[in-house]
Amino acid sequence: MADGPLKETKVTSSHWGAFEVDVEGGRITAARPFAPDPHPSAIPDILPAAIHHRSRVARPSIRRGWLERRDRQGRGSDEFIALPWDEALDIAAEEIARIRRTHGNEAIFGGSYGWSSAGRFHHAQSQVHRFLNSIGGYVASFGSYSTGCAQSIMPHVFGVNFLTMLYEHQDGWHTLAEHTETLVMFGGINPKNAQVSMGGITEHDTRTWFDRFAEKDMHCLNIGPQRSDAPENCAWLPLKPATDTALMLALAHVLETEGLTDHAFLARCTVGFDRFRRYLMGETDGIPKSPDWAAPICGTDPETIRSLARRMAATRTLITVAWSLQRAEHGEQPYWMSATLAAMLGQIGLPGGGIGYGYGAIGGVGKSFLGLRGMTFPQLDNPVRKVIPVARIGDMLRNPGALYDFNGRREPYPDIRLICWAGGNPYHHHQDLNALHEAWQKPETILVNEPWWTATAKRADIVFPATTPYEREDIGRSNLDDYLFHMPALIPPQGEARDDYDIFAGLAARLGAGEVFTGGKTSAEWIPELYAEYRRLAAEEGIEVPDLDELRGRNWVKLPIRRDGPNRTLFAPFREDPDAAPLGTPSGRIEIFSETVAGFGYDDCPGHPVWLPPAEWLGAATEAAPLHLVSPQPGDKLHSQLESALADLPGVRPATLVIHPDDAAPRGIATGDLLRVHNARGACRARAALSDGIRPGVVALPTGAWYGDPGGNIDPDGNPNVLTRDVGTSRLAQGSSAHTALVEVAKL
Ligand SMILES: Nc1nc2c(c(=O)[nH]1)N[C@H]1C(S)=C(S)[C@@H](COP(=O)(O)OP(=O)(O)OC[C@H]3O[C@@H](n4cnc5c(=O)[nH]c(N)nc54)[C@H](O)[C@@H]3O)O[C@H]1N2
Ligand SMILES: Nc1nc2c(c(=O)[nH]1)N[C@H]1C(S)=C(S)[C@@H](COP(=O)(O)OP(=O)(O)OC[C@H]3O[C@@H](n4cnc5c(=O)[nH]c(N)nc54)[C@H](O)[C@@H]3O)O[C@H]1N2
Ligand SMILES: [Mo]
């Protein structure tokens, strides 16, 4: 640790990659790119300002109204009172004990969604879950805002765990470079998003691969509302958001009517095509899903659809689908339909052909390294079996006891009295934040560990100041990357911040579970022990990893992990012999029709893929809300992290809204104008940027701003989640519908 005047330079790791930092006099004074990274992220530039920012939580703090009267009303407006650690921990532990005594552990919500920071041991989710398990468990959450919908629907279609399929089985970039002739990207593949990867990404290589694709004359087509969703050297088919399923159906219709369907593949490897075909051809509902039918829905022309279908059938084609398509109402449909379309093309199981999900969503997809899992801090068992779909938190808080459907089961929402959050910012990430804010008043107590006074910390009752990764020792490593980092404690904890581990150890001790949580060890004892186990497992896989002292000395090493050869092709063994290597579906085949899903009887997710228009899309535009809002991930940061320091920079806040000149002109809007973006759910400010790279009728406002003003007034910094809808994708998956929203935009 450097707290003297001497300058020291070290490398550390983060979700957005490795970077070098200078430390002088106990402060981080500069951050620079890590030399081996060909396309480093610029996110670390803001780090020195953010780490020492005035918005750090300096001391344990309790909201005045809660401390004095246990009232719930002042969340977001009350002042906080700073207390000594022992006193604050005593009060928090007593409250946790009271809730457990009166309502049981089923009244504690510890779903605690969020990315927190990189670093294997101090991973906030593992810490909070282990703590809550050590005291009798908590209500957990299933899935993620990223892929919750796909995680529920895709096992019905392919019989695999969706994330395992993406991370461990999908074709690597090198296979695409070698074999793919046509790359059809629904929702694009964006190096901006590939900037980050959970746990870290060291060599940012998405751009490099697309340059390679261009050299090989691969036809790369980005289908979606924004040209910028794919590298500049890709073609663009502008599409109305939420209409991909209609386009895919029309492509399927062309294949079927022009004799281009691979019926041999369908017969060998799929079930249910005949039932789906009747819908496709219009035999069940009188509407053939032809290019003429789809063109006005999608906002394209029938001939474009026909020629694309022919090209896809004539060349080695990989269909890729961005995660954004399932982060929308009926997000199950484009996922299921893309699998169906790929099956009809008959290329599933061929290298560089078939289907792939989430390339570019995070930088690790497509890197295709072999094996070697990261070191993990065990979370213990959760005796409470209640689990809600992660994005249904608002409904859960609003409707305790109400029955809800989820993937074939019907269950009551638990009655939550205590929320315990570490490493996430629901007041950035959840939809319809004005409604969440109302629901947030229901629990008796809200406990948050945070390094910064985020929108969520400001609306908690008890806030414990947490360290950042730069203030504690850890190991940096992602399963999708081939580097290993020692992350040294670069600076002392800021203010009175403590590691999540020590905060939870303090609470657990007061609740009589100290030994269960800590196992009798400090973090300085856990890290060498977990690392030694990791090193042993690596050795079993034939990968030599330096011992901890050597890693500490070297700071980082590139591990001798191999990329998969071209023989890793998604579903290749299944294609070769579907009887010998069946899928995990009930039929052992790709299910174009699923008896299981049909058996649930959901009208919002029937037994085969269908076109179901969402409640809000351009086909349902109104005078009050005529524009479709997409809210993509921010380019200059990771979600809401480092927000307070970024917001200090000129021109960063309010956030920038991209709008087409045809939509700007009638509203008198020019680039740089201050805007009011609004609908019936809320309003926020934004700064206009005119672009012809967005489809007319669509506006894009990235996530990342913290929620400012409660109560439905205008959110000052431009958080799109005051405008988005808080509904599940369907009763099947109950995923987040963040990309489903209509809005109006006016000059402020
Ligand atoms: N409209 C719209 N909304 C969306 C999306 C969208 O596409 N559109 N996308 C959704 C998706 S996919 C996601 S993943 C979510 C992201 O939402 P979140 O994951 O909640 O966002 P983050 O800002 O990464 O939150 C991490 C928090 O952890 C804190 N933190 C960092 N390190 C530590 C630590 O060591 N200890 C503790 N205690 N805290 C720490 C950070 O300061 C930060 O406040 O947003 C979702 N919301
Ligand atoms: N820099 C940076 N990178 C990130 C993150 C970050 O915060 N910052 N967050 C990471 C996380 S947690 C995740 S989950 C991934 C998310 O990765 P994705 O889900 O792929 O990303 P999004 O940014 O939500 O959306 C990508 C694009 O989809 C398009 N889109 C929206 N709706 C539709 C539609 O109906 N049809 C089509 N065809 N296109 C549509 C929009 O134009 C949008 O720009 O990104 C990761 N990468
Ligand atoms: Mo995500």
Q: Is residue 699 part of a domain?
A: yes
Q: Separation of 10 CA from ligand 2 center, angstroms? A: 32
Structural element, H or E, at residue 590: strand 590-591
Res 437 pLDDT > 60: yes
Report the pLDDT value the prediction gives residue 320, as an integer from 0 to 100: 98
Nearest CA to ligand 2 atom 32: 241
What average pLDDT does the structure give for the chain?
96
Which residue puts its alpha carbon closest to atom 28 of ligand 2? 187
Q: How far does CA 248 lie from the centroid of its chain?
A: 24
638 lines ligand 1 (CB under 6 A): yes
- If asked whether residues 484 and 359 sit together in one domain, one would say no
Gap from CA of 323 to ligand 2 centroid (Å): 7
Q: What is the DSSP string of 47-67?
A: HHHHHT-TTB--S-EEEHHHH
pLDDT score of 712 more than 80? no
User: Given strand 8-12, what is the order of strands in its sheet?
Assistant: 8-12, 19-24, 27-33
Over range 699-708, report the average pLDDT.
96
Q: Compute the C-alpha angle 34/498/42, nearest 5°.
A: 25
Distance CA 556, CA 484 (A): 6
| Ligand 2 binding pocket includes 633 (Cβ within 6 Å) | yes
Instruction: Tell me the whole-structure pTM to 2 decimals.
Output: 0.97
pLDDT over 50 (residue 1): no
Please give the single-letter amino acid code of residue 452: W
d(CA 304, CA 298): 11
Asked if residue 340 and residue 408 are part of one domain, the reply reads no
Residue 164: is it exposed, middle or buried by C-beta count within 10 angstroms (0-12/13-18/19+)? exposed
Per-residue confidence (pLDDT) for residue 379, from 0 to 100? 95
The answer to whether the CB of 347 falls within 8 A of the CB of 180 is no
**3-state secondary structure (DSSP) of residue 669:** coil
Going by C-alpha positions, the residue among 560, 497, 473, 387 that lies closest to residue 51 is: 497
Pick the residue whose CA is nearest to atom 4 on ligand 2: 193
Atom 31 of ligand 1, nearest CA residue: 116
- CATH code: domain of residue 702: 2.40.40.20
DSSP strand pairing (80-82 vs 474-476): unpaired
Q: What angle do CA 84, 90, 92 make, to 5 degrees?
A: 100
Residue 322 lies in a domain: yes
Smallest-distance ligand from the CA of 632: 2
In a domain, 564, yes or no: no
Q: Does residue 79 sit in the same domain as residue 178?
A: no
Nearest CA to 484 among 474, 495, 499, 471? 474
The pLDDT, as a whole number, for residue 373 is 81
State the Cα–Cα distance between residues 324 and 629, nearest whole angstrom: 13
Q: What is the pLDDT of residue 710?
A: 57
Quick: pLDDT tens for 325-345.
999 999 999 999 999 999 999
Tell me the residue length of the chain: 748
- DSSP annotation of 170 reads S
On whether both 361 and 217 belong to a single domain, the answer is yes
Query: Is residue 443 domain-shared with residue 472, that is, in the same domain?
Result: yes
| Gap between the Cα atoms of 385 and 401, Å rounded | 16
User: Residue 74 in contact with residue 711, Cβ under 8 Å?
Assistant: no
- Which residues, 6+ apart, have CB-to-CB distance to 710 below 8 Å? 76, 77, 434, 437, 459
DSSP lists the bridge partners of residue 246 as none
Same domain membership, residue 440 and residue 299: no
Does residue 581 share a domain with residue 674? no
- Band of residue 565 on the pLDDT scale cut at 50, 70, 90: low
The CATH number of the domain where 415 resides is what?
A: 3.40.50.740
Å from CA of 724 to ligand 3 middle: 16
Residues 513-528 pLDDT 10s: 999 999 999 999 999 9
Q: Are residues 646 and 515 in the same domain?
A: no
Q: Is the torsion defined by CA of 386, 392, 397, 398 positive or negative? A: negative
Protein residue whose Cα sits closest to atom 42 of ligand 1: 641
Residues with catalytic annotation? 113, 115
Instruction: Report which ligand 2 atom has the smallest distance to the Cα of 186.
Output: 38
On whether both 67 and 202 belong to a single domain, the answer is: no
| C-alpha–C-alpha distance, residues 42 and 695, integer Å | 28
527 & 639 share domain: no
Ligand with the closest atom to the CA of 433 = 1
The pair of three-digit structure tokens given for residue 413, joined into one six-digit string: 């929402």
Give the residue-averaged pLDDT of 371-384.
Answer: 91
pLDDT at res. 2: 45
Please report the DSSP string for 671-737 in residue order.
Answer: TT-EEEEEETTEEEEEEEEE-TTB-TTEEE--S-PPP---SSSEESS--GGGTS----S-TTT----
Nearest to 669 by CA among 703, 699, 630, 704: 699
Spatial CA neighbour of 196 closest among 25, 362, 67 = 362
- Helix (H, G, I), strand (E, B), or coil: what is residue 6? coil
pLDDT of 12 reads: 98
Q: Does 704 map to a domain?
A: yes
Determine the residue type at 5: P
Question: Angle at CA 648, nearest 5°, toward 642 and 651?
Answer: 110
**Spacing, Cα 460 to ligand 3 middle (Å):** 23
Query: Pairing between strand 409-412 and 219-224?
Result: unpaired
Residue whose CA is closest, atom 37 of ligand 1? 423
Does residue 155 belong to any structural domain of this protein?
no
**424 vs 113: CA distance, rounded Å:** 6
- How far away, in angstroms, is 310 Cα from ligand 2 center? 28
Q: Is residue 52 within 8 Å of residue 28, measured between CB atoms?
A: yes
**In this structure, what CATH number is given to the domain that contains residue 578?**
3.40.228.10
Q: What percent of the chain has pLDDT over 70?
A: 98
Q: Is 187 in the pocket of ligand 1 (CB under 6 A)?
A: no
Query: pLDDT tier at 146 (50, 70, 90 boundaries)?
Result: very high
Pocket test for ligand 2, best of 45, 240, 247, 633 (most atoms within 8 A of CB): 633
Sign of CA dihedral 440, 444, 450, 452: positive
Tell me if 1 is assigned to some domain: no
d(CA 183, CA 82): 56
Residue 566 has pLDDT above 60, yes or no: no
Question: Is residue 3's pLDDT more than 60?
Answer: no
**Separation of CA 382 and ligand 2 centre (Å):** 32
**Would you give the distance in Å from CA 214 to the centre of its chain?**
29
Atom of ligand 2 nearest to the CA of 738: 24
Asked if residue 654 has a cis previous peptide bond (ω within 30° of 0), the answer is yes
* Domain presence at residue 156: no
Residues 360 and 379 in one domain: no
> What's the Cα-to-Cα distance from 82 to each of 558, 570, 644, rounded to whole Å?
44, 55, 21
The pLDDT value given to residue 480: 94
Residue 45 domain-assigned (yes or no): no
Type and span of the H or E element at 27 = strand 27-33
Q: Which atom of ligand 2 is nearest to the CA of 636?
A: 1
Domains in the chain: how many in total?
A: 3
Query: Is the same domain home to 420 and 335?
Result: no
Domain containing 192 equals 171-365+571-600
How far apart, in whole angstroms, are the C-alpha atoms of residue 62 and residue 402? 32
Q: Which one-letter DSSP state was computed for residue 115?
A: -
